[in-house]
Amino acid sequence: MKELIETLGARGELLRIARPADPKHQLAAVTRAVQNAGEEVVLFENVPGYDMPVVSNIYGSHDRLCRMIGAGDGIFSTRWNALTEAAGRAATETCLRPASEAEAAGFVSGPLSALPAITYHARDGGPYFTSAIYLARDPDNGVPNLSFHRSQIISETELRVRLGSSHDLAKYQARAEARNEPLEAALLLSCPPEIFLGACASLPIEASELNLASEIRRAPIAMRRCRTIDLEVPASVDIVVEGRFLPNVKRPEGPFGEFMGNYVEVGDNHVFEVTHVEWRREAVFHSLVCGTPEDLRPLEAVTAARVYRHVSAQVPGVIDVCCRPNVMISIIKIRKAYEGHAQHAILAALGSYLDYNKVVIVVDEDVDIYNLEDVMWAYMTRGRADTRAMILKDIPGFYRDPHKDHWGRLCIDATRPWGREAEFARKTVPGEAEIDLADWLGA
């Protein structure tokens, strides 16, 4: 994390805050203000009650995400899919290696309360670890898994964790619980980008996200032994909380301000018993405000990559897919080749990710799919609003949706009418792209 912060600073992408920022609400409020103003990373150098600085908004920029995975053309989807496919073929023994003595050194142990306990939203039930990545092994075959799970801080020895039913970790825990056994796991905080982004992936249960991390890094991941549990963790992770999920024990957790922008109310969720906490000297704590760009950009990008892979396998001419400004929307850019091309892309997208795709919009190749204003311009100017929109009723939506609030789909063809491309060509100003305002505004 320290190396990453130094790199971001050298690129002019880091804001430093020396003024004290209260970890209860104020730190999150300043982070939101920074995000509303731009895409810079923010480093809080003074968090009262803690010796550790706090960093936020590392992953709040789509351009940074592309840079982190080596997508030099700025198209995340194609590069991400290539990485995940390579990870699926790779052997774990070639993706991991034992950490050297120097790599495994420099850690100190202490209480959980030494880590910044940040309360984000007005109704949150207390402080949470929001960038929490859990590493656990499949109880049957030992395959390691990385996944995100919000974790409410209860005491020095207890976290309460919501394990989504679709996550591999929930399946691991259920299998261990069926044997009346705890599931050992390590909570990873302040991870380098390859570990964080690897945990964002949705891989088959038999695949390891650590293999993907190795592909992103283009080198094997150095692993070191935990102190109190039978697990190895990446040596590059700065903060590790060791423990175990207790079998047949659930306790109230929440409320919590979730990524969709509303609160998830109190529910009985899993209990993680903390057995050891350690961190690298001079560690920086990673804070993530759920539902903000840092939370949504990675989720949007990997969701778009999944949609892209599915749609491009069935429909020709797919150039790119994005899910900005929200993970529930897929915007597909095509090189239109025939009448009905956009409708084919819509049909393929609807079947690509049943939990999301509440809205699907297809546009021509001259539209900026990362700019919703440009997308809506295409819809409003390139044909009738009524005949190019389709509402599909009573179709299930997001898997965690007991009241059916996310049922239904909206599909929009925002492409030019077939055969009338010249009539709907976008106007241009010659030389506009070559203008450097500094040349014109200087003395």
How far is it, in rounded angstroms, from Cα 196 to Cα 199? Answer: 5
Residue 443 pLDDT exceeds 60? no
- 77-90 average pLDDT score: 92
How far is it, in rounded angstroms, from Cα 416 to Cα 379? Answer: 9
pLDDT of residue 238: 97
What CATH architecture is 315-413? 3-Layer(aba) Sandwich (3.40)
Nearest residue to 400 via CA among 256, 264, 266: 264
How far is it, in rounded angstroms, from Cα 74 to Cα 172? Answer: 36
On the 0-12 / 13-18 / 19+ scale of CB atoms within 10 A, 63 is middle
How far is it, in rounded angstroms, from Cα 128 to Cα 162? Answer: 12
Contact 294, 59 (CB under 8 A): yes
Higher pLDDT, 60 or 167: 60
Q: Fold match between 2-293 and 315-413?
A: no
pLDDT of residue 336: 96
Q: Percent of the chain, pLDDT > 70?
A: 99
Higher pLDDT, 402 or 388: 388
pLDDT of residue 400: 67
Residue 5 pLDDT exceeds 60? yes
- 314-324 average pLDDT score: 93
pLDDT of residue 268: 94
Residue at token pair 């810079």? 40
User: For residue range 8-64, what is the model confidence (pLDDT) as tens digits?
Assistant: 999 999 999 999 999 999 999 999 999 999 999 999 999 999 999 999 999 999 999
pLDDT of residue 328: 86
pLDDT of residue 73: 84
Preceding amide of 252 cis, omega within 30: no
pLDDT of residue 202: 84
The CATH T-level fold of domain 2-293 is Pnp Oxidase; Chain A (2.30.110)
Q: Any idea where the domains of the chain sit in the sequence?
A: 2-293, 315-413
pLDDT of residue 24: 97
Q: State the pLDDT confidence band at 394, using cuts at 50, 70 and 90.
A: confident
Residues shown for the chain:
443
pLDDT of residue 92: 81
- 63-68 average pLDDT score: 95
User: For residue range 94-141, what is the model confidence (pLDDT) as tens digits?
Assistant: 899 999 999 999 999 999 999 999 999 999 999 999 999 999 999 988
User: For residue range 172-190, what is the model confidence (pLDDT) as tens digits?
Assistant: 999 999 999 999 999 999 9
Q: Is the pTM of this model over 0.95?
A: no
How far is it, in rounded angstroms, from Cα 352 to Cα 397? Answer: 13
- For every residue of the chain, which 3-state class applies, written as one string? CHHHHHHHHHCCCEEEECCCCCCECHHHHHHHHHHHHCCCEEEECCCCCCCCCEEECCCCCHHHHHHHHCCCCCCHHHHHHHHHHHHHHCCHHHHEEECCHHHHCCEEECCHHHCCCEECCCCCCCCEECCCEEEEECCCCCCEEEEECCEEEEECCEEEECCCCCCHHHHHHHHHHHCCCCEEEEEEECCCHHHHHHHHCCCCCCCCHHHHHHHHHCCCEEEEECCCCCCEEECCCCEEEEEEEEEEEEEEECCEECCCCCEECCEEEEEEEEEEEEEECCCCEECCCCCCHHHHHHHHHHHHHHHHHHHHHHCCCEEEEECCCCCCEEEEEECCCCCCHHHHHHHHHHCCCCCCCCEEEEECCCCCCCCHHHHHHHHHHCCCCCCCEEEECCCCCCCCCCCCCCCCEEEEECCCCCCCCCCCCCCCCCCHHHCCHHHHHCC
190-194, 246-250, 354-358: which has the minimum mean pLDDT?
354-358
